[in-house]
Amino acid sequence: VFVPGRKIKPGDMITYIASEYEEPEIDPRYRIIFEDEHFIAVNKSGNLPVHPSGVFFRNTLVMLLEKDLGAKFFPVHRLDRETSGAILFGKSSEAASMMQKNFGSFAKSYRAVVRGVPENAEFTVDVPIGQARVSAIRKKREAYAGAPEQSCTRFSVLSASVNSAFLEAVPVTGRMHQIRVHLKYAGCPIIGDKLYGEDETVYLDYVEHGLTESVIERAGFSRCALHSYGIGFVHPFTGRDIKIHALLPGDMEKLAGDLGLAVV
């Protein structure tokens, strides 16, 4: 019997009986781009959660991989649901743990389509991140002096048009939402980013009504136009230098083309 406020003690058994519900639709497409006896990396779509969380359980990349390949997989790192691209899994918890210990030394590269054109072809945002100081959204974050999490991202402009740009982002640190928050700070928010765009009421509208035509029009794209392009690391078992690249998906290529941006 559930008793609110009761403290759990050693030996207690907890049973959770989940009710049947329909999970939100996803884009289940993924492509294996690297595999050996210890690890597997895939290029995932831009509407696919990595692991069970919130309203997603079966409709996740982990569950799809385990169903399709008949084995257990352990994420080495995370990508947001709307971020497409390369993500690495261990084929055992030990392999994933070994990678996670050295994840800060990984070479990571992202691609983003943003509003506005940065003044410099190369620039760095070295500003700490914390919870947003003034926002109606509890999980929103913000870059500002004195924030608790030291954060640094390097950016390069790969191509630009009148009002938009195609960027490379290289995170030096690994904070939650770091690239998105730092681009918001730099005045070049990612197109389609409902949380860190120019108007956060787009996100509130999305939460209440879903991905409507109005939300897409106001955000400028159906998802956050961010792609995990490359991962480089030293293999912990073989010592080999591994470089993995994930091709840009068609939706971001079309967005860039429509904005007059060259995809390089």
Task: Cite the active site residues.
Answer: 80
**What is the Cα–Cα distance from 263 to 258, expressed in whole angstroms?**
11
**What is the Cα–Cα distance from 108 to 170, expressed in whole angstroms?**
6
| Degrees to nearest 5, angle at CA 78 with 75 and 84 | 110
How many CB atoms are located within 10 Å of the residue 209 CB? 10
Token pair listed for 69? 């390949």
Q: Which residues contact 207 (CB under 8 A, 6 or more apart)?
A: none
C-alpha 56: how far from its chain's center? Answer: 16
> Hey, is 217 helix, strand or coil?
helix
Q: Which among 199, 123, 198 is positioned nearest to 167, based on CA atoms?
A: 123
> Hey, is 208 helix, strand or coil?
helix
Instruction: Decide: 117 and 260 in contact? Cβ < 8 Å.
Output: no
**What is the Cα–Cα distance from 30 to 51, expressed in whole angstroms?**
14
